[in-house]
Chain A
Amino acid sequence: MFSLESGSEDQAELAPEVAEASWEAPDGEDSPEALLRECADLRHSQAWDRFLRRFNPLIVATVARTIRRYGLDRAGLSDDLAQEVYLKCSANRARVLREFKPRYPGAVFGYLKVIAVNVVHDHFKSKLGRHLDHSPLQNNVAGRDETEWRLLLRDIDDFLKKPPVSERDRQIFWLYYRQGMSAKEIAALSSLSLSVKGVESVIVRLNQLIRNAFENGERQSRGGLVS
């Protein structure tokens, strides 16, 4: 996950919005955005029927995947929670649907999936009274000095906070190297508006910049890289 080599494999994969193609509107039906707008008026039972027919497979699949993270599946749970998703969509005069902003084609699918994921997490939080356990990625690297690592983090971060590095690139660097997200996972953050290739390019560029800075002793002239 951490190597750039694995990032290069990501380039061959489909972008998330392309991967949604199998859920696209059948011929002659409303666009998903139009359907959402219709359902935001809670008096349209036919629109809701179409909504359920079109999105239920997507929502059930998302719910089932998220349930597996908790390892507590039971018969019918994904159906029950999918129903909760629809209740959430219709609550507060369908506020969730009214708030949706179609920022790019196919955004509806990602939006509904996030709502479904949130419903599952909320369910387990209220039932189990706890969050999903985010244990460290690995904890078996012997002999690593945490203090040294934290100093290294701080110094690199000081470097990244200065021009020519942008705040967006700094975020990408740490999502990759500290949070362990792959280039593909980072590119899935639509807020960044970057392809997998774009993310990889940022990482390679910053990687080189940091190596150069340390090797050439630029750190001293920039200040803050000396511990």
Chain B
Amino acid sequence: MNIGDRSGADLIERLQAGALAHRRPQKTRKCPDEDRLRLLLPGQLEPEEADKLLTHAAECDWCGSVLREAAQDLGEPPTGEEDELAGKARLADPRQRRELAERITGGGRTDPKRWAPILRWWPAWGFAAVALVGGVSYQQWTLSAARTEGLLAQAYTKRRPMEMRVPKAEWGQLRIQMGAGSSSSHEPPELPDALSNITRGIDAHPDDPKWLKVEGEADLLEGREGVAIEELERARSLRPGDVTILVDLGAAYYQKAAKADDPESYSMAYQRLSEGLRLKPSDPTLLFNQALAAEHIQTPTVAQAAWEAYLKVDPSSGFAREARTHLDGVKKNLGNSGPMPATQPLMR
């Protein structure tokens, strides 16, 4: 290449023309997460990370394009058309807005200051326990995901918010939901303790499936099944062989289906629970939950078989009593409709 060609005003023009003609936007393994890249716009990144991402984007045609498009989309104020659309949005209706706010917060059931005294004394209790057992292991255990799962199981038993079971929980009397409509004064004390642990655990280990699982379960118990599904699906993708995640996930889809009368979510619930049973065929929690889901999307004969399978592994607990009631109901339906042909279930 002749250096003389590069001198003068032509140089920059040729640089621009070349960019137009030869840019090759191709994502590579070195490209950063695009969600992080876009955070350069509101300046939410630490200077060191921002500098690294900018250097990459300046040289990478793919990330440069992502950044350029984001700057175009975010830099301009809304157009008249977009303003109009926002004015007609679903959440422009105050009632729908309130409903969503309640769904997100599980009904705003708790005065956040109510548990402050307990939380304030938490370090003291923790310290006392450490002193008693003579080491830090107890404190670590109290804050662990396994211990938190136990707290959630106890909370479930004391104030059971749904028919579906959660892992490790004993039978409890079915009551109104912990979420919407319930009084904070009836909230089991284990729940705020668990929530406090989860906040700490998730902050320290945001991608740990154990913490994601207990977080999803807590949201489920608080009536936020939409959020719970998101968290539990993420936990499942990180640890697909964990049946306790599948139990909670099935329960979350079931709750969503029950609230919205949504057959697709019943089907998802059944699917996730069946997935769990393939891994652990005699798990009573999975069998119980799957039988419940089967009542909604399977033929009565399949539902009957599911309850009978459950009662084989648990003939005597409080859950078994409920299973018998369900089984009687299914049989009655079968009796009313005459002998059922061996039809195909709605889904497998």
Q: Which of B95-103, B133-141, B265-273 contacts A (4 or more CB under 8 A)?
A: B95-103
Q: Which residues of A contact B100 (CB under 8 A)?
A: 48, 52, 83, 86
**Cα separation A118 to B44 with both chains bound (whole Å):** 14
**Cβ of B50 and Cβ of A61 under 8 Å apart?**
no
Give the shortest distance, in Å, between A70 (CB) and chain B (any CB): 12
Give the shortest distance, in Å, between A42 (CB) and chain B (any CB): 5
Q: Which residues of A contact B50 (CB under 8 A)?
A: 191
A93 at the interface (CB under 8 A from B): yes
**Cα separation A138 to B20 with both chains bound (whole Å):** 5
**Cα separation A67 to B1 with both chains bound (whole Å):** 45
**Cβ of A44 and Cβ of B105 under 8 Å apart?**
yes
**Cβ of A42 and Cβ of B41 under 8 Å apart?**
no
Indicate which residue in B45, B69, B105, B202 contacts A42 across the interface (CB closer than 8 Å).
B105
B85 at the interface (CB under 8 A from A): yes
**Cα separation A33 to B77 with both chains bound (whole Å):** 20
Q: A44-B105, A62-B73 are in contact. List 19 more A-B contacts (CB 8 A).
A: A43-B111, A51-B101, A57-B78, A57-B92, A61-B85, A64-B82, A91-B231, A95-B206, A114-B35, A114-B39, A118-B38, A136-B22, A146-B22, A149-B19, A149-B21, A168-B54, A178-B61, A189-B71, A207-B12
Residues on B lying within 8 angstroms of A by beta carbon are 1, 3, 6-9, 11-12, 14-25, 27, 34-35, 38-45, 47, 50-51, 54-55, 57-59, 61-62, 64-78, 82-83, 85-87, 89-92, 94, 97-98, 100-102, 104-112, 195, 198-199, 202-203, 206, 212, 215, 224, 226-227, 230-231
23 A-B pairs whose Cβ atoms sit less than 8 Å apart in the complex: A43-B109, A43-B111, A45-B108, A56-B86, A61-B82, A65-B78, A90-B227, A95-B202, A100-B44, A113-B42, A114-B38, A138-B21, A139-B21, A140-B21, A152-B18, A153-B18, A167-B55, A171-B54, A172-B58, A175-B57, A191-B40, A191-B54, A227-B1
Residues on A lying within 8 angstroms of B by beta carbon are 2, 14, 16, 19-20, 22, 41-46, 48-49, 51-53, 56-58, 60-62, 64-66, 69, 76, 78-79, 82-83, 86-88, 90-93, 95, 98, 100-101, 103-104, 107, 109-111, 113-114, 117-118, 121-122, 131-132, 134-141, 144, 146, 148-153, 155-156, 167-168, 170-175, 177-181, 184-186, 188-193, 207, 210-211, 214-215, 219, 225-227
